[in-house]
Amino acid sequence: MDKSVWNYKGIRPANYPEKRIRGIAVLLSETIDKGIVNFFLEYIKAELNNKNPKDAVKKIMNFGGVGIQRKTEMFFNIIMPFFMVYAEDDEVKEFLSFIFETHPPLSENKFIKSFNRNYPDINIENVKAYMGVILFQKQGTPQ
């Protein structure tokens, strides 16, 4: 695809399509032997006894090509929900629930900033609350 087709208006350089494609290509190349599902399942199972949720996510998302913040977002928006449904192992599901309930909130976005302005007395303490706030804010935001 020719670069002239892409619209860069309002996009930060870190989110340029060619950088995103390059980054995901690294992940795909690192998972080609085992398959992407087995790659992540193996990494999740290796961390089942890790009681530090931030460290566990960092180790599960241990691949190149993508920054740590994007990897963490990928974990909570793609990897974790997929394995909560896909995994047949209750220990894996319990571990992922533990991570969801104990990992510190992710970076602020417009929904979190708006919530914090409107509800300054409510503290978002973990990813579970963070995701709940985003859902709450989106339900109240006209599309």
Cα-based distances in Å from 3 to 10, 16, 19, 20, 65: 16, 11, 12, 14, 21
What per-residue confidence (pLDDT) applies to 22?
87
Distance CA 76, CA 101 (A): 11
pLDDT of residue 143: 52
Q: Which pLDDT score is estimated for 21?
A: 87
143 residues of the chain, pLDDT tens digit each:
677 777 788 787 777 788 888 888 999 999 999 999 999 999 999 999 999 999 999 999 999 888 899 999 999 999 999 999 999 999 999 999 999 999 999 999 999 999 999 999 999 999 999 999 999 999 876 55
Output the pLDDT for position 89. 95
- pLDDT in the model for residue 14: 73
